Amino acid sequence: MHSTFDEIHAVLSRYTLPALHTTASSEAWLAAHQRQSGLLIHPRLAVYSGRKDSVFAANYQNEAGEVATLCASSDADLRFYELAEGYQDAGSGEAAAATTLCYGMVAVEPGVDILLVCGDNRFDVEIAKKAASHCAGIDAEQVLPFLLKLQDAALFACVGALMAAGFARIPVLAEGVTAQLAAAVLNALQPGGASHIGFVNPLLPVLAAAPQWSFPGKPPGYAALLALQEVQLLAAERYAGLGSSGVGD
């Protein structure tokens, strides 16, 4: 069964998150968006790709590869989602794009307590900046139809993943131009709706309250996993500071 953009907006009408903070403090961000004041013991890296590129896919399907090895050392799941390629017209395109957005939500499952999101980063950064700026200046109902013009399945899937994490009150680390544009899109769909997202190696203008991490370039997801290690330490310190009670905010 195909979804529609109207159905996505109906879901968003019930989408609520804690208010944005006025600080970019990583500690404040984690406190606001971590479901409970516990350790981050079940991270997941979700990578979405709509391009048929065996070399790109091999980064995530090779158990001995850089990304898989770092996932293992961080106790993180690795999920690589191969998608259909872009959408050719606004008719069938809307159904396919909305369905892809919903499919992106499957990365958020019970037990996952922090999500790392990456796309295949097919966008030129300047094009992504212009797209983000355009989305910020139009009505929310026009945002998803506008995205169809970009013909990028990974972008819609990333929007779905970020949206589902917000529903579940799970903090997100977004790495790369596709995931960061998806965060801008989510904020355009509902102002404040991307406050649970932190940015790794920021490429676009980001939310004023969003924390940021910077690491040398590696395959998509690698820098997010390095950021995850820092966030896990923050969570452990916060957990210890609360007397290991594990009581939620």
DSSP-assigned beta bridge partners for residue 5: none
The answer as to whether 248 is a domain residue is: no
Residue 150 included in any domain? yes
- Is position 249 within any domain? no
Is residue 155 within 8 Å of 178, Cβ to Cβ? yes
Q: Bridge-partner residues for 48, per DSSP?
A: 81
Give the pLDDT score at 156.
Answer: 95
Number of structural domains found in the chain:
1
> Is the model's pLDDT at 86 over the cut of 70?
no
> Does 246 reside within a domain?
no
Residue 100 lies inside a defined structural domain of this protein = yes
Q: Which residue has the higher pLDDT, 8 or 63?
A: 8
Domain containing 134 equals 5-12+21-241
pTM of the model: 0.90
In a domain, 215, yes or no: yes
140-178 pLDDT, tens digit per residue, is 999 999 999 898 999 999 999 999 999 988 999 999 999
| Residue 33 within any structural domain of the chain | yes
- For the segment 182-197, the average pLDDT, to the nearest whole number, is 91
Least confident of 71-85, 104-118, 201-215, 222-236: 201-215
Structure tokens at 164: 């589902």
More confident residue, 127 or 19: 127
Spatial contact of 231 and 114, defined as CB atoms under 8 Å apart:
yes
Can you give the CATH number for the domain in which 104 is found? 3.40.50.10210
* 247 inside domain: no
187 pLDDT band (50/70/90 cuts)? Answer: very high
Q: Which residue has the higher pLDDT, 245 or 62?
A: 62
Quick one: pLDDT at residue 36? 66
Q: What is the pLDDT of residue 27?
A: 83
